[in-house]
Amino acid sequence: MNICIFASGAGSNFQAILDAKSKGIIHSNINLLITNNSKCGAVEIAESNYIDVIHISRKVYPHLDYVQYLNLFISALRKYKINLIVLAGYMKKIENEIVREYKNRIINIHPALLPSFGGENMYGINVHNAVIESGVKVSGLTIHFVNEEYDRGKIIYQKCVEIDDTDDAVSLQKKILNYEHESYPEVIKRIENGLIKIGD
């Protein structure tokens, strides 16, 4: 497979995917990083691994209309012959046209057990704050296909993580992130092996 990573932040999941490739756990090509944030950690990771980076942000292209803007994504994905898009801490909503063109070919990782603790403002530490405040004893991570609604696409993998009495949002975030780094490559491996079907 040819994979494009979409990321906006530190990029630790992106790094974990690259590590899994260098250990031979996964075999796909990681061809491209698309980011809305040219100064994020994920860009540094891509550059130090000689992976092409395309920076697409409304701030850079304020003069483009919707179709032209959308075409920046579509033409990049086609040029690199991408067949799997992996969202790894990407802070923007994927445009509906891209979701349709890459139906069941876009996966996302969310640091809680969906369908709880998901939705538009549920990102980063907000998720873990909400989990801790709710008093639940178990959280975890979810990997799902992306559809037109935030965090509502078909779930393909989940892992539970116990919440200890001593956990706060920050410690929980750290704990779950470590599991994310194992789980995301595992799901990519399952896709490569045909155990999880992608596409139509």
Q: Which residues bind ligand GRF (CB under 6 A)?
A: 7, 9-13, 88-89, 109-111, 177, 180
Among residues 25 and 124, whose Cβ is nearest to ligand GRF?
124
Position of minimal CB gap to ligand GRF: 89
Among residues 54 and 109, whose Cβ is nearest to ligand GRF?
109
Give the shortest CB-10-to-ligand GRF separation in angstroms.
Answer: 4
Taking the CA atoms of 23, 27, 31 and 34 in sequence, report the sign of the dihedral they define: negative
Catalytic residue among 27, 55, 63, 110: 110
181 in active site? no
Residues in the chain: 200
**Using CA atoms, how far apart are residues 102 and 13, in angstroms rounded to an integer?**
21
Give the shortest CB-110-to-ligand GRF separation in angstroms.
Answer: 6
Give the shortest CB-111-to-ligand GRF separation in angstroms.
Answer: 4
Counting Cα atoms < 13 Å in the Cβ hemisphere of 170 gives 0
Among residues 1 and 112, whose Cβ is nearest to ligand GRF?
112
Query: Among all residues, which ones are annotated catalytic?
Result: 110
